[in-house]
Amino acid sequence: MDSQQSFAKNIQVELQKRIAEVVKSNPNILSDLAKINDVDIQLDQLLQNKKAICLESLRSLNDLKQADGQLVEFTYMIQSMFNPEMYAIAAIDAEQVKNGNIDSAIEVFKYHDTITSQNLPNEHQDEFNENIVSALGDRQIYYAIPIPNQNKWSKLVGQNKNNQGQEEIGLEKKEAHHVSYQGIQVSSLDDISKYAPKLQQIGLFNYESDKDDSLHAFPCILKYYNQEQSQNPKLNQIVKVTGILSYNLNSLSDENEHEINQQEEVGDDDQYESFDRISYLYPERLIPRIHVLSSQVISYSDIYSSSIKQLSNLEVSTQAQRQVLLEALTKILGNDQISAFYLLMTLISSVNLSKDEKHYGNLFLNLLNTSQKLSSGAKISETLNDFLQSILVYSVSIPFTLKYLNAQYLQPKSSSSGKISYGSLQLPKETKHFIICDETSLQQGQLDQKGVHNVKNMINFFQDLRVPFESEFYKGFVETDVSGVILSDGKGLLYKDIQIKLEEDIDEESKQSTLFTFDILNDNNFLNQIRKYILESKNQALTVQLDEEVANNIQIDFVEKRKQQAKENILNKEIIINQESLERWIQLCRLNAASKLKKIATIEDYLEIKKLEENRIKRTMKDIKIWQQK
């Protein structure tokens, strides 16, 4: 615990030595303080063998207080970025330097928020030593939030590791302090889950509620030093950061912050961010600061490797897990094997190629007639949603209801103060989210202006895989990579690659056999095997290739189907064969091979797809005829 507590101090001491060396070797350094900005220490050596605390393990303001100055690590998403902040690197007593007392002449403030000095002015001291000169630098400011929509099981897998982090730094319960923010009062001993939803309502913890409130984690302000512009993280990127935690439980009161905010107006031409403005938007007594020592932008392969590592002790039989997952999906979908197969293909799909603003590889599946009820009394849509959340790492459920559409922000929202609120469709590319859009609860009613805007955003999002974003510093789009299922009674409102209607009636045998699915939801060993299988199949789908024989057969069949379509004068867009059909056949063939963890798709994989596509079109044609008769 002692080494952790003194980590910030160790860095301060090392920096003081380095600056002293520079001052000693450069007699005229005080007339060119910019050189001190380049002085740093070998962080790699200092971080070697140092065990960092997982930030997610800090559950209360009291935990943050005890961890102040310690080394922490976390993986978060960049939510907002601000202008650089000017800060004091060090204060140097010129008189002491002149007299040769260089080691005692230097005070270092880098990697700190609060300056504690006998020589510099503070709230208790208006005058200061006129011999003091300050070396100034700037640091880039970001607001980061926990990665959105990580499912509960995935978080719980790493919970033991996080809890161990608390034990290692010896966090103890201390006397409770009461902290207020805009009329909301919390205890410093309360778990974050107790007050995060309240603070979310007033825009402080501005990200969507976790699916389980007990799993909330603190957002934070990141401060980057000496970064090249090209190395800076960008909006919506995921970063893994190691740094020094800075937390001040006794920071400004509501009244002080309001007064500062009235005084601090940031103009369009201001080069630097106001320290006090950031403190007002994200108060130090509620939002910790992290002084970044090392940072890595996280890719999909990093997330995949991390997720697989969590399940590394499991041996998975590909064929067995594929079969049992298909069986589970079949039971949930009322014994509909065809729909279950298409859903599996959709689950493991993701973008593998983007060209001319068009994306290839991911699928959106529209399952119709999903309001049917199972023996449990739950709708198919509800049961499927629960099951998918229990096997996928990242998924988001969008209830297509008037209440949701009129109230929720689907795109990032920027306020005049510079604060950016999280939008439900702001999904990082690296996580390859699965989106579940439930239209089965949509009823007649009036959409307000926000609701209409949200529907338009949803329609564009499914087609373009991006969401509009506009802030004080940035205007454009947030790109994403998602696949998903649209659950509806009739034809879904949103873009879909494949549409299939579930069989009309679920017989009693199917209802009873569905109980098999409910049982396995409580079998964690079984679920872990399914989770690992999906991760491996999804990763395989990114690189699987088509056998030359398969490519030739697809081309031949496409030409023949087009000729047959012309003869029969088929015009209905639900069954018409076009370029999108060709792309779909290729993609489904690749996904079918990937679902067996094969590197190359063979003719057998294509023939399975060909038969399923023919059965799906027959079912669609049957539904079209019924609709025409009505």
Give the model confidence (pLDDT) of 297-342 as tens digits: 999 999 988 888 878 777 767 788 899 899 999 988 988 999 999 9
Looking at residue 613, its pLDDT comes to 93
Give start and end residues of each alpha helix (H) in 436-521: 449-464, 508-513, 515-520
In DSSP notation, 360-428 reads ES--EEEEE-TT-B-TTS-BHHHHHHHHHHHH-SBEEEEE--HHHHHH---S-EE-TTS-EE--TT---
Looking at residue 505, its pLDDT comes to 59
Would the pLDDT of 483 be above 60?
A: yes
**Alpha carbon separation from 340 to 291, 482, 616 (Å, rounded):** 48, 19, 12
Which region among 33-37, 187-191, 538-542, 594-598 has the lowest average model confidence (pLDDT)? 33-37
**Alpha carbon separation from 438 to 40, 345, 351 (Å, rounded):** 53, 19, 22
Closest CA to 207 of 244, 236, 239: 236
Of 151 and 364, the structure prediction assigns the larger pLDDT to 364
Q: Which sequence spans correspond to the domains of the chain?
A: 2-298, 314-337+355-532, 543-630
Segment 357-391, tens digit of pLDDT: 788 999 999 999 888 877 677 788 888 998 999 99
> Is the Cβ–Cβ distance between 381 and 440 less than 8 Å?
yes
Would the pLDDT of 525 be above 70?
A: yes
Which region among 96-105, 525-534, 553-562 has the lowest average model confidence (pLDDT)? 96-105
Report strand pairing: 358-360 vs 353-355.
Answer: antiparallel
CA–CA separation, 498 and 42 (whole Å): 55
Tell me phi and psi for residue 86, to 5 degrees.
-80, 140
The second-level CATH assignment, the architecture, of 314-337+355-532 is 3-Layer(aba) Sandwich (3.40)
CA–CA separation, 41 and 19 (whole Å): 10
Confidence of residue 96 (pLDDT cuts 50, 70, 90): confident
Percent of the chain with pLDDT over 70: 80
pLDDT, mean of residues 109-119: 71
Looking at residue 95, its pLDDT comes to 83
Looking at residue 398, its pLDDT comes to 92
pLDDT, mean of residues 617-621: 84
Confidence of residue 211 (pLDDT cuts 50, 70, 90): low
Question: How many residues in the chain?
Answer: 630
CA–CA separation, 477 and 423 (whole Å): 13
Looking at residue 165, its pLDDT comes to 46
Mean of the per-residue pLDDT values for the chain?
81
CA–CA separation, 282 and 218 (whole Å): 12
Dihedral sign for Cα atoms in the order 256, 257, 258, 261:
positive
Would the pLDDT of 125 be above 60?
A: no
- Which positions ≥6 away from 521 have C-beta within 8 Å? 386, 387, 390, 527
CA–CA separation, 141 and 282 (whole Å): 12
Looking at residue 126, its pLDDT comes to 46
Give pTM, 2 decimals. 0.87
Segment 237-273, tens digit of pLDDT: 999 999 999 998 776 555 554 544 444 444 444 555 6
> Is the Cβ–Cβ distance between 96 and 102 less than 8 Å?
yes
> Is the Cβ–Cβ distance between 223 and 289 less than 8 Å?
yes
Looking at residue 231, its pLDDT comes to 73
In DSSP notation, 170-194 reads T-------EEEETTEEEETTS-HHH
pLDDT, mean of residues 58-84: 90
Would the pLDDT of 275 be above 50?
A: yes
Of 442 and 484, the structure prediction assigns the larger pLDDT to 484
Looking at residue 129, its pLDDT comes to 61
